[in-house]
């Protein structure tokens, strides 16, 4: 703003100015959030439809600035990506999630085959030190590569498909699982499904939402499940909120689900409580 001079602000309406001020304020607070320990993770179970067992957990980031209301990712991930802050924040998420899963394995609360899914921003994917970061986090936490799953959105892949394909290949060769998030919402062509080293497809919740409504969405759901089977991919339906949706997905032979019907994202303490009751009751 210095270079443009103060007078430029004359062109802003007060509403625009308010927005800019708010964004700058959020950005400033975000810069200090890591140092101030204001982040924490919640975890949402992924459940195998046939057995009802938890097969994985997705780590979902939360920001609790001191003396302020809780901030959800929708309000700060975009700014974290624009500023590059997502790289150190994402590294914190990876480390925290891996430590937590290893702890739950060690304490016997979760079976060894239960994996942890972590969302990866395209900025992290483009970052030169990603692979060494992943390597040291796995060594540090004692987690096996196969116990970690990285979720990358279809739109992130499409920003720079060449880079994405090459980095994801290396990640996959390390034994880390790769999951394509929000599938069906981006513009990716199906041909990328052949090139990308994928283990999992996550069907976007907009399709699940429309079960019982839009018949064309039901047809798309069926097609995605069939496609996944043919490509040897596990398929997770996101955003399952009702028994009717679960029943429909079971009929399609969808492998697994995630959503409020099973559990909302929960804090580590809440997850432990849930696992203890599941084990004993
Ligand atoms: P996502 O990866 O698609 O995560 C699923 C989102 O859907 C989560 O929102 C989750 O709370 C919500 N959800 C789960 N089940 C249901 C359901 O049954 N109904 C409805 N209506 N919603 C459900 P959340 O936690 O607010 O996260 C939003 C997005 O922020 C995530 O979407 C992901 O793209 C991003 N995100 C979250 N944590 C991280 C992170 O650590 N790193 C990065 N790069 N992105 C993150
Ligand atoms: Ca995700
Ligand atoms: Ca998703
Ligand atoms: Ca999403």
pLDDT in tens, 59-93: 999 999 999 999 999 999 999 999 999 999 999 99
| Ligand closest in space to the Cα of 151 | 2
pTM of the model: 0.93
Which protein residues have their CB within 5 A of the ion that is ligand 2?
119, 151, 181
Q: What is the pLDDT of residue 12?
A: 63
Instruction: For 95-107, write each residue's pLDDT tens digit.
Output: 999 999 999 999 9
Q: What is the pLDDT of residue 2?
A: 46
Q: Is the CB of 40 under 6 A from ligand 1?
A: no
Does the ipTM surpass 0.95?
A: yes
Atom of ligand 1 at shortest distance to CA of 182? Answer: 3
Strands 200-203 and 177-183: parallel
Which pLDDT band, with edges at 50, 70 and 90, does 4 fall under? low
CA distance 104 to 275: 10
CA of 243: how far to CAs of 33, 52, 145, 211, 232, in Å?
39, 13, 34, 11, 27
Residues for the chain: how many in total? 281
**How confident is the model over 170-190, as a mean pLDDT?**
88
Residue located via tokens 């624009």: 82
Atom of ligand 1 at shortest distance to CA of 81? Answer: 44
Atom of ligand 1 at shortest distance to CA of 121? Answer: 44
φ, ψ of residue 142 in degrees (nearest 5): 75, 15
Q: Is the CB of 45 under 6 A from ligand 1?
A: no
Percentage of the chain lying above the pLDDT 70 cut: 94
Burial class (CB in 10 A: 0-12, 13-18, 19+), 43: buried
Q: Is the CB of 231 under 6 A from ligand 1?
A: no
Which pLDDT band, with edges at 50, 70 and 90, does 1 fall under? very low
**Closest C-alpha residue for ligand 1 atom 30:** 73
Q: What is the pLDDT of residue 127?
A: 95
**Closest C-alpha residue for ligand 1 atom 19:** 239
CA distance 135 to 112: 19
């Amino acid at each position: 703003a210095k270079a443009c001079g103060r007078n430029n602000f004359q062109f802003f309406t007060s509403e625009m100015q308010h927005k800019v001020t708010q964004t700058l304020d959020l950005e400033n607070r975000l810069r200090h959030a890591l140092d101030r320990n204001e982040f924490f993770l919640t975890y949402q179970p992924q459940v195998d439809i046939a057995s009802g067992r938890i097969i994985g957990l997705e780590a979902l980031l939360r920001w609790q600035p001191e003396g302020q209301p809780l901030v959800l990712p929708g309000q700060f991930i975009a700014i974290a990506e624009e500023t590059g802050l997502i790289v150190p924040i994402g590294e914190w998420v990876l480390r925290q999630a891996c430590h937590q899963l290893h702890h739950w394995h060690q304490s016997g609360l979760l079976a060894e085959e239960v994996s942890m899914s972590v969302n990866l921003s395209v900025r992290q994917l483009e970052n030169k030190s990603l692979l060494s970061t992943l390597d040291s986090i796995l060594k540090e936490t004692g987690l096996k590569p196969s116990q970690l799953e990285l979720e990358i959105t279809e739109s992130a892949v499409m920003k720079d498909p060449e880079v994405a394909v090459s980095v994801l290949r290396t990640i996959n060769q390390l034994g880390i699982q790769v999951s394509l998030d929000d599938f069906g919402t981006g513009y990716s062509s199906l041909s990328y499904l052949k090139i990308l080293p994928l283990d999992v497809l996550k069907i976007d919740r907009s399709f699940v939402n429309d079960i019982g409504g839009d018949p064309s969405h039901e047809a798309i759901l069926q097609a995605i499940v069939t496609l996944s089977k043919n490509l040897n991919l596990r398929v997770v339906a996101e955003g399952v909120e009702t028994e009717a949706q679960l029943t429909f997905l079971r009929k399609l032979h969808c492998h697994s689900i995630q959503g409020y019907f099973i559990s909302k994202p929960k804090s580590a303490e809440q997850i432990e409580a849930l696992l203890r009751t599941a084990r004993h009751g």
